[in-house]
């Protein structure tokens, strides 16, 4: 079946550190890939997405590249801020389907 | 982008009572909406797919008589937690996808005492 695996958290970094959150997937079809962010007490917000191989999604300094050969969609940011503290979810959506498949989430804490 | 709202944002109820949570698409029509449940520090679990004008589709292990879903219009889906118990306390989130992108409501925190 379709599934998403994220690196386990929690992840704690200092401000201005480099961030990588790993995400790999298995899919029977040809998925679109997403990163969602959930701030404390809030719902999910779309952070970035990529719909085909080699696409790079980017937003707010975050980037992720759709790597079909490694079935990965790792999230990166060059210099994190305290305001980036949140839970990050990797997800996939199979073309023609409507249900998102989520990873388990990675809690990120940035210390000043 | 598309906006999805939920009401209430939080609710406390007594064990044995029923609670209704509303999910609205504010600037688009949604023939399909999704209901998720999120336990503390865990991922989202899809509970059911709400279909306008027809019965909801429940995921395996979700009690349809416990979690009643009604999608009476193209902009409103409701989730009713019937005879709530403390173990039903959770964060409930709805979503809709007007395009190939899902938009999530802000969530409803339910606490059953």
Q: Closest by alpha carbon to A95, among A34, A49, A30, A48?
A: A30
Cross-chain CB nearest to B43 (options A41, A98, A104): A104
Q: What is the pLDDT of residue B1?
A: 67
Size of interface A-B (CB pairs under 8 A): 47
Average pLDDT of chain A is: 92
Cross-chain CB nearest to A32 (options B6, B32, B100): B100
Mean per-residue pLDDT for A34-41? 90
Chain A nearest CA to B6, separation (Å): 10
Using the beta-carbon criterion (under 8 Å), do A51 and B100 form an inter-chain contact? yes
Q: Does A105 touch chain B (CB under 8 A)?
A: yes
- Residue A1: band (very low, low, confident or very high) from pLDDT cuts 50, 70, 90: confident
- Residue B87: band (very low, low, confident or very high) from pLDDT cuts 50, 70, 90: very high
- Tally of CB atoms within 10 A around B113: 10
Mean per-residue pLDDT for B89-103? 86
What percentage of chain A reaches a pLDDT higher than 90?
75
- Residue B3: band (very low, low, confident or very high) from pLDDT cuts 50, 70, 90: confident
Using the beta-carbon criterion (under 8 Å), do B41 and A107 form an inter-chain contact? yes
Q: What is the pLDDT of residue A8?
A: 83
Mean per-residue pLDDT for A60-75? 97
């Amino acid at each position: 079946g379709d599934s998403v695996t994220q690196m386990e958290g929690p992840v704690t970094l200092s401000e201005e550190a480099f961030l990588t959150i790993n995400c790999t997937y298995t899919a029977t079809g040809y998925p679109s890939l997403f990163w969602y962010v959930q701030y404390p007490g809030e719902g999910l917000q779309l952070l970035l997405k990529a719909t085909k191989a080699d696409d790079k999604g980017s937003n707010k300094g975050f980037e992720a590249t759709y790597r079909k050969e490694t079935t990965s969609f790792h999230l990166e940011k060059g210099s994190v801020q305290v305001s980036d503290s949140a839970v990050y979810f990797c997800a996939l959506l199979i073309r023609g389907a409507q249900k998102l498949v989520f990873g388990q989430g990675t809690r990120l804490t940035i210390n000043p | 982008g598309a906006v999805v709202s939920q009401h209430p944002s939080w609710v406390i109820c007594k064990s044995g009572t029923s609670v209704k949570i509303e999910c609205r698409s504010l600037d688009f029509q949604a023939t399909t909406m999704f209901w998720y449940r999120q336990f503390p520090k865990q991922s989202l679990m899809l509970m059911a797919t709400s279909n306008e004008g027809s019965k909801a589709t429940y995921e395996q292990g979700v009690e349809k008589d416990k979690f009643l879903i009604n999608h009476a219009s193209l902009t409103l889906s409701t989730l009713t937690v019937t005879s709530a118990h403390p173990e039903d306390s959770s964060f409930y989130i709805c979503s809709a996808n007007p395009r190939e992108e899902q938009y999530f409501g802000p969530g409803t925190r339910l606490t059953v005492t």
